Structure 1
């Protein structure tokens, strides 16, 4: 779908919506925050510590180092993310970031060495800490003024719920099918949900 067709599709949706379209933007941002961002959270990674370090013989310090490197990478790319949001819109940045996180999750299910693990988790973690943090809040701020505090509170609430739920889901999958299936399942789930922002999100009311 080219950009003109996509914009036309989004504009038609907004015109036909029986209520303020900002609530659709909020719902899309909340779904993305609930499903996509938690995959690379430290609470989720903690569930994988025991099975992965046991299989590969890595120390927990080495395993956890990917979190720190991902955070450092996020600091580096955050200014660029802001420019990308200004240029392409929050929906596009959310969709691309979700694809990156999903692909990294799928790749983590196939890792066989430490380099592969770092090469996949670090960029996924950077997406968690930069675009998947900035894009939803920017979208909400663009669409809400008087009710912005309420909208942001709803967004933060769904984020927190996702961050609480995904470790439990990961633990359940690992217990039944192993850590590789857990990474691949969560990666596929993220990829499926990640296309929604690009289809439904409009940058600003005007």
Structure 2
């Protein structure tokens, strides 16, 4: 565990560490921002066109699923051709999807614009690629902190874009709001220049053989701890996607003014800044599997308490703050576990498959929220399902072994 998995950065790279961190964090914030506002478009679009909530929820569910399916392949491209090129192309898809979504007038087209195009764009410009770049560009002792700041930056995007998105909708209408966010996304190709680069074709450690991508994938999926990590991350996606999309309409249903839906999403983003940074620090100081189990269990407790107390504005704000602190705090220890087990050579690819599980969970969280609401007139079933899955995820992470996989050279 004491040997670095990659060589230390050169002196010129070391001097550029602040630039790498700032550029990567801004990219993460921009990527995270518009997609965190999708719940605000549910009411105006379904009202204007007479869609059901399930129709809109299906589009966002497809977005999450396409994002998840695309993430491993995007990771492979980044590991092969470099981060900057992939981020730039992904940002173009993202901006195009947002722009075309503003012109959508039927549910079928919404599945293609808000679903497929934006899903591909988010995958191609995802903050996960930023974290993979941090894993390669930052020295080993700064990686956990870098993961924390990169993840927190996504929350900054959520915190900033939640009120901005709602403000744009109120001031200019939902179509123009989408066009404004599409223009902002186009800053990503410029910023990606500062975190450019691809992994060197060298072994993960001295005395070990190098791998191809198929060999790395076979090794990972044969590893029990990797499979447990993939399974547990499904729950993270389910919980986050359900809350992001369905919390604003849920609050309206229980009599909370719509304004507080924006406040709730923004508050989640604000407290996730502290939660992600704290998680990044703790990732370097304690067992990552224990940290992950504690996060998932705490989420379940927060959800159960929120459901049992009488609904009120203070209870909504407290729930948002508590859930925000736990929101993306799963990412730094999950990312670091991949690096600990397999090194940084194919970190974007291997974490991409972990994240695919996350997005399958996101699909079911968003879609089931819409389906069960239309069937029962309530979100209660999905809330309780989220709490139960959190307990399951806590148990799944406990058997993970935090040890590097040895790849000795043939005798």
Instruction: Give the structure-1-normalised TM-score.
Output: 0.82
1:95 alignment partner in structure 2: 88
Quote the offset at 1:157 in angstroms: 1.3
2:196 alignment partner in structure 1: 202
For 2:198 and 2:142, the matched residues in 1 are separated by 15
1:119 alignment partner in structure 2: 112
Q: How does 1:163-178 map to 2 (within 5 A)?
A: 163-178=158-173
Quote the offset at 1:183 in angstroms: 0.4
For 2:65 and 2:189, the matched residues in 1 are separated by 27
2:67 alignment partner in structure 1: 74
For 1:163 and 1:177, the matched residues in 2 are separated by 20
**Could you report, residue by residue, the CA deviation over 1:40-99 in whole angstroms, capped at 9, with x for unpaired residues?**
23xx11111111111110011110111221222233222211210112211221121111
The structure-2 alpha-carbon separation of the partners of 1:104 and 1:90, relative to structure 1 and needing over 3 Å to count, comes to: same
Q: Given the alignment, which residue of 109, 122, 128 partners 1:128?
A: 122
Secondary structure of residue in 2 paired with 1:112:
coil
- The count of residues paired between Structure 1 and Structure 2 equals 188
Q: As a proportion of its length, which structure holds more helix?
A: 1
2:28 alignment partner in structure 1: 33
Quote the offset at 1:146 in angstroms: 1.1
Quote the offset at 1:199 in angstroms: 2.8
Instruction: Give the structure-2-normalised TM-score.
Output: 0.43
For 1:129 and 1:139, the matched residues in 2 are separated by 15
Contact 1:91/1:135 (8 A) holds in 2: no
The structure-2 alpha-carbon separation of the partners of 1:36 and 1:147, relative to structure 1 and needing over 3 Å to count, comes to: same
For 1:79 and 1:155, the matched residues in 2 are separated by 19
For 1:53 and 1:68, the matched residues in 2 are separated by 16
The structure-2 alpha-carbon separation of the partners of 1:33 and 1:198, relative to structure 1 and needing over 3 Å to count, comes to: closer
Query: Whose RCO is larger (CA < 8 A, sep 6+)?
Result: 1
For 2:144 and 2:72, the matched residues in 1 are separated by 24
**Could you report, residue by residue, the CA deviation over 1:77-122 in whole angstroms, capped at 9, with x for unpaired residues?**
2221121011221122112111111111111111121122111111
The structure-2 alpha-carbon separation of the partners of 1:39 and 1:109, relative to structure 1 and needing over 3 Å to count, comes to: same
Tell me how large the CA RMSD over aligned residues is.
2.2
For 2:123 and 2:33, the matched residues in 1 are separated by 10
Quote the offset at 1:130 in angstroms: 6.4
* Structure with greater Cα Rg: 2
2:184 alignment partner in structure 1: 189
Residue 115 (structure 2) pairs with residue 137 (structure 1): no
Q: Given the alignment, which residue of 97, 107, 122 partners 2:100?
A: 107
